Structure 1
Amino acid sequence: MATRALILIEGTRYNGPLYINAARRLGLHPISLSADPARYDYHAPEEIETIRVDTDNLDALIRECARLQATYEIAGITTAEEEVYATVGKLCRHFDLPGPNPESVERCCDKFVQRQLLAEAGVAIPAYRAAANPTEIERFAAKIGLPVILKPAVGSGSSGVRLCRNVDELAEHTTYLLDGEYIWRSSPRILVEQFAQGPTYSAEIMGSEIIGIAAINWGPPPHFVARECIYPALLTDDEYRRIIDASRSCLRALGLGWGPTNIEFKWTKLGPLVIEVNPRLAGGTIPRLVQLAYGVDLITEHIKLVIGDEWDLHRRHSHVAAARKLVADRDGILDRIDGDSLAAAISGVAEVKLYVEPKTPIIRTGDYRDCLGHVVAASPSRAQTETTLHRAVELISWSIAPFSAPLR
């Protein structure tokens, strides 16, 4: 009998290893297809079978998967990365495997098209316009009213997203996006969007079932780097119901409802405003927080869906879990980072992970790449979880030397 394999197209530095470990627990042989396996530190030969292939080329992926079929039974194909999720849907369709609807994913990943569909369905969203040049950006920003958010129409991880509070910041970020510094994966189109003020919430959905809602706290403007996430969010029954109703409206409007979806909201004076619908599992620490809070392993359950098995989203307990990102405060060379072992030893700390090592160059980009690591804590009590997280984070410190200073 052929070994059952799970094909992973690309990955992420955090959730990628979780998919690999979950696949093995389910008795599957994980195989990673990547354009650049060196991007991921879990691609060492002894850790996982890795194949280099152009993951932007559907035909190349089909050929590679067909070749693997001579050796393995391909049980499923999936990814932890948004950029290739539509391609995964097309691969699944080609090999008659369970997978997301690629057309729905493509519509959703284009934030302009996504907003059009949500608006047509009557879902509350910020005012927005799509612009292709500085003149349009300036005109639309004036019409919407400063401050506004400028963001690429296609992208993830807050890359290229910035709050522009005045005309100088608007011009500066326009230049960054359109004059060659920002790396576009598609033709340049920029969303000019109303800045919605209020607390941020993240709804996690599998299929059409809402798993739970987290509260997200951001770092200082003008960038959008998530600093802290706590699960579950403190909401009234009415707030929870309205976010659930809005989430289901998003699924209907966008043709989603297979597999994981992540929806980001702002709670405004008029209620929940949909900021973004992501047709994939949330990145970063959120799957881990859901597991600690409710005992539901979203990654394992996603893989079960991918391979055609029955999933189990039943909550096994109700705890409070929180994560704090360790964010670089300046550019330079990371001289040292320590205290992680002390932090991990605190009772209630579930995880301490550092993403970088000393002597690493740090160049902040105003997105997820500014994070040096994270700390996760959990307990049955919200106050206890918050106290534990604060104690652990206080034990971790680092120093970043200016680029001009000699390394010690």
Structure 2
Amino acid sequence: MKQCKVIVVIHRFGDYILGGFVNYGQVIDHSGNQVIYMVNARGHQDIKDYEGQAARVHELADIEDYAVLETLMKNTVEEYGPVDLLIAMSEYDLINAAKLRTQFGIQGTSQEKVALYRDKIVMKKRLQADGLRIPKFLDYTDPEAAIAFAEEVGYPIILKPKLGAASQGVKQANDRTELEEALASIEQANETDNYQCEEFITGPIFHIDGLVQRGELQFIAISQYVNGCLAFSQGIPNGSFIVTDRLPLKNRLTRFTEAVLHSLELHDGCFHLEVIDRHGAEAVFLEIGARMGGAETPFLTLELYGVNLCEEWIKIELGTFEKLHFAQTGIHGGLLQFPEPPCVPAEVVHVTSLKGLIPEIFHEQIPVPGEIMDGKGSYYHISGRYMFRGESEAKVEAAIHKAIDLFRIEAKPLEPSHI
């Protein structure tokens, strides 16, 4: 039996947000295995403390260049033998990692299976076939078909990239005029093949984050959005609070999660699922990612539960995962992000700190005067990032709304040349 494994890690994290969040040196036995890293500049900086333990470190100018990844993998196999495991934590590396696994016969998520977690059309067709409730949808091909679909299901209508994340590129059309304008922008951008049309479902939206091993849930946290990701992309604060006190809802959404994971064959790893609760009685699938949630989600999970989603995910893939021990009750928390000012590019003049005003806030990250907001901050380099801990679910929700009411940022517009 082969004892020493050849393990390839594709790693792009390493900025001031996610730097140090996952420590491969502690999770992977580098002395007993051949560990090869493929990193970008930020990722290289992130593994500096233990890169000397690695068999090889390759820094790539473009970590998404598949031809380069393929060549490095061929060289790795020639030098070290067949690769036993390929680890890729980022949403943006999942497809390339799956292609490499398929091409080089590596265990784990294959090119065919990764579509279940990345392509929104593929995932919904599978769930629909298995009888789970999904929004009515159309694989977009031309404006006429999209308009006919909208007239059938009714407005508003959602236009969504098939492979998108964090609501990037998502458009909501409230009537035919808005739909025609949105479709024209898609056609003009030559994005026809990348879009789908989707029925608008009314109801609160939840994100469900967890770990699954051999088909069994090992960790789950169900959170209700305040405003949501689409609102954030439109300049509105986005937050969420963990469902802890509404046990019937928590149990119902847990069962739905288990059914989704089973249908999509996501038996091992980390997941981020989004669901609408229609009329307080029916869970409707929105989308899923086979990775940890973004924004403050992994940091809040670590703070409240002591669970590092990235590192536990790696342990599941390595076969070294051990049952987690954390408090099942009495944990109430949430998160909140304020988007960049609408006048970007802009220089921050003043931001009001909320940490002393709202007792539930235990973490605050705000920009300092003189800092430049360039419109590319995603969920991280933004006007404000907060984590909450409270005595109940309701108190955390109230604290989030209070923070939204009290938050203020002043910024002055800059010419693009000043960035």
TM above 0.5, one fold? yes
Aligned residues: CA RMSD: 4.2
Contact 2:86 2:97 in 1 (8 A): yes
Contact 2:272 2:293 in 1 (8 A): yes
The yes-or-no answer on 1:227 pairing with 2:238 is yes
Classify the secondary structure of the residue corresponding to 1:351.
strand
For 1:261 and 1:325, the matched residues in 2 are separated by: 21
- Map 1:26-175; keep pairs closer than 5 Å: 26=27, 33-34=38-39, 37=40, 40=42, 43=45, 51-52=59-60, 54-58=62-66, 60-65=68-73, 67=75, 77-92=86-101, 99-175=108-184
The yes-or-no answer on 1:325 pairing with 2:337 is yes
Match of 2:308 among 293, 297, 311: 297
Cα displacement (A) at 1:338: 5.2
How many residues are paired up? Answer: 397
Cα displacement (A) at 1:272: 0.7
Match of 1:307 among 318, 323, 328: 318
The yes-or-no answer on 1:203 pairing with 2:208 is yes
Residue matched to 2:263: 253
Contact 1:338 1:396 in 2 (8 A): no
Classify the secondary structure of the residue corresponding to 1:123.
coil
Contact 2:390 2:396 in 1 (8 A): yes
Contact 1:9 1:88 in 2 (8 A): no
When the two structures are superposed, what TM-score results if normalisation uses the length of structure 1? 0.79
For 1:390 and 1:222, the matched residues in 2 are separated by: 15
CA 1:272/1:46 → structure 2, altered by over 3 Å: closer, same or farther?
Answer: same
- Map 1:170-181; keep pairs closer than 5 Å: 170-180=179-189
Residue matched to 2:274: 264
RCO (CA 8 Å, sep 6+): is it higher in 1 or 2? 1
For 1:217 and 1:248, the matched residues in 2 are separated by: 24
Residue matched to 1:192: 197
Contact 2:348 2:412 in 1 (8 A): no
CA deviation digits over 1:220-239, x for unaligned, max 9?
859577711212354342x2
Contact 1:12 1:80 in 2 (8 A): no
For 2:167 and 2:14, the matched residues in 1 are separated by: 15
The letter of the residue matching 1:295 is G
CA deviation digits over 1:300-332, x for unaligned, max 9?
211212333123333246421211102134123
Cα displacement (A) at 1:140: 1.4
Residue matched to 1:8: 10
Classify the secondary structure of the residue corresponding to 1:17.
coil
The letter of the residue matching 1:322 is G
Cα displacement (A) at 1:360: 2.7
For 1:226 and 1:107, the matched residues in 2 are separated by: 30
Cα displacement (A) at 1:403: 4.1
* Unaligned 5+ runs, structure 2: 52-56
The yes-or-no answer on 1:287 pairing with 2:289 is no
Residue matched to 1:23: 24
Cα displacement (A) at 1:118: 0.9
Farther-moved stretch of structure 1 (114-123 vs 224-233): 224-233
CA 1:306/1:177 → structure 2, altered by over 3 Å: closer, same or farther?
Answer: same
The letter of the residue matching 1:278 is G
Contact 1:340 1:352 in 2 (8 A): no
For 2:361 and 2:43, the matched residues in 1 are separated by: 24
Contact 1:337 1:396 in 2 (8 A): no
Contact 1:337 1:357 in 2 (8 A): yes
CA 1:157/1:83 → structure 2, altered by over 3 Å: closer, same or farther?
Answer: same
The letter of the residue matching 1:84 is D
CA 1:316/1:18 → structure 2, altered by over 3 Å: closer, same or farther?
Answer: farther
When the two structures are superposed, what TM-score results if normalisation uses the length of structure 2? 0.77
Cα displacement (A) at 1:139: 1.7
Cα displacement (A) at 1:268: 0.6
